Amino acid sequence: MKFLILNGPNLNLLGKREPGIYGTENYEALCRMVEEHASEHGSTADCFQSNHEGAIIDAIQAADGVYDAIVINPGAYTHYSYAIHDALKSVSVPAYEVHISDITSRESFRAVSVTRPACVGQIYGQGLRGYTMAMDYFLEQAEP
């Protein structure tokens, strides 16, 4: 499988931004982790992060016909980006939404996801492991 791992605003600051919530591992460690996990399963994973909504939409649109699955952490766009929702619905590549923290136990606005309905599932509160859990969902679906 070919995975596109998409990360939205501020995820480039992993390890620095509120480590009590998001952990101490940095963004590069996250990318290494998902790339290694993919490789262990005969797959590949490409990481992309942007603080810009349009760049994320462009990456989703460009994924069509190139990737088998998208694992996306839209960051704050989760709560209000109908444009990302629409982009996910517009491509034939299935997506799984991931959040590092438990979005249901934080501020009330964080529990609302407008992008979730465009995804096959959502994982939250599992730390960085949520990314590999989402990848495993797709790997299991691909098994004969």
In this prediction, residues 21-42 reach a mean pLDDT of 93
In this prediction, residues 34-43 reach a mean pLDDT of 98
pLDDT for the residue 19: 74
- Tens of pLDDT, residue by residue over 63-100, are 999 999 999 999 999 988 999 999 999 999 999 999 99
pLDDT above 90: residue 50: yes
pLDDT above 80: residue 10: yes
Distances (CA, A) of 27 to 43, 55, 126, 143: 20, 18, 16, 30
Pairing of strands 121-124, 2-7: unpaired
Distances (CA, A) of 125 to 34, 130, 131: 17, 8, 11
Q: Hey, what are 64's tokens?
A: 């069509």
CB 48 within 8 A of CB 6: yes
Query: Of the listed 37, 77, 85, 99, which one is catalytic?
Result: 99
pLDDT for the residue 60: 98
Contacts of 80 (CB under 8 A, 6+ apart): 114
Active site residue 22: yes
Q: How confident is the model at residue 51 (pLDDT cuts 50, 70, 90)?
A: very high
Q: How confident is the model at residue 108 (pLDDT cuts 50, 70, 90)?
A: confident
With CA atoms as reference, report the closest residue to 51 among 9, 97, 94.
Answer: 9
State how far the Cα of 31 lies from the Cα of 45, in Å rounded to an integer.
8
pTM of the model: 0.93
Question: Which domains, ranges and CATH numbers included, belong to the chain?
Answer: 2-142 (3.40.50.9100)
Query: Of the listed 22, 67, 96, 124, which one is catalytic?
Result: 22
